Amino acid sequence: MSGITWIRAVLVSGHGVASGQSTTSPYPGGTIALQQPFFAELGLDLSDCWPGTLNLSVAPLELRLRDPDHRFPLMEWTDRHPPETFSFWRIQLLTPDDAAVDGWIYQPDPTTKIRHNQPLNVVEVLAPRLQGISPGVSLQFRDRLNRIHTIDAIRLRARLLEFLKFRVLAAQDTFFATTGVELRRAWLRDHHPEALALDDAALDQVWNQARVLYTEE
């Protein structure tokens, strides 16, 4: 197990939709209970998991995940929501009393999810019911295959903005003449590769901020 990092997180309150505890949810039995039979048909047995999610926050860091164990594209699980894509990563949870429990990171694709999306510093976890925990408790989790890691997005954005400063001051609006996600990432790959860990929305934010701060009107 050497080299496999435990990621520290804090349990936070969720929307109550996955478990059905929300009084305003259109799924009074909870979305997980409704989805479980569909996942089982596709080869993922979640019968040992409590039908609700643990919402784990790593704030102020953000999470990056790759290569899920399971990915189910455009699964039709209800007539109240368009088909959704789901990804799962097998993880191990460490509870406050140092008990290790197997679980799954459960990630509805935000591009197919209409509402209740999670921020980049929160993951939803399916696991057996854990007794005696409540929002605010500290937990840890790890992936034995090291496909999950955290980034300090605030620091990366600040460093990128500083890196762009003199380039924009020198080139002014011509710096922004070349647009497009792939071209921008290709440029970063050559000049400032650490920023590639940021998502496209964060890069847009930094580019727009650099334009406002460093170009002349």
- Rounded mean pLDDT of 160-185? 93
The answer to whether residues 28 and 92 belong to one domain is: yes
Asked which of 151, 171, 190 is the last residue of a domain, the reply is 151
Of residues 28 and 175, the one with the higher pLDDT is 175
Q: Do 93 and 45 belong together in one domain?
A: yes
Same domain membership, residue 112 and residue 192: no
* Confidence at 47, pLDDT banded by 50, 70, 90: very high
Angstrom distance (rounded) from CA 48 to CA 177: 54
pTM, rounded to two decimals: 0.85
Which band of pLDDT confidence, cut at 50, 70 and 90, is reported for residue 1?
Answer: very low
In a domain, residue 2? The reply is no
Query: Both 112 and 142 in a single domain?
Result: yes
Is the domain of 49 the same as that of 114?
Answer: yes
Q: Which residue has the tokens 């002349």?
A: 216
Domain that residue 64 falls in = 7-151
Which tokens belong to 210?
């650099």
Q: What is the DSSP string of 31-55?
A: HHHHHHHHHHHTT---TTS-SS-EE
What does the pLDDT look like over 69-97, one tens digit per residue? 999 999 999 888 899 999 999 999 999 88
| 143 assigned to some structural domain | yes
Domain count, the chain: 2
| CA count, 13 A, side-chain hemisphere, 107 | 25
pLDDT at 25 over 70: no
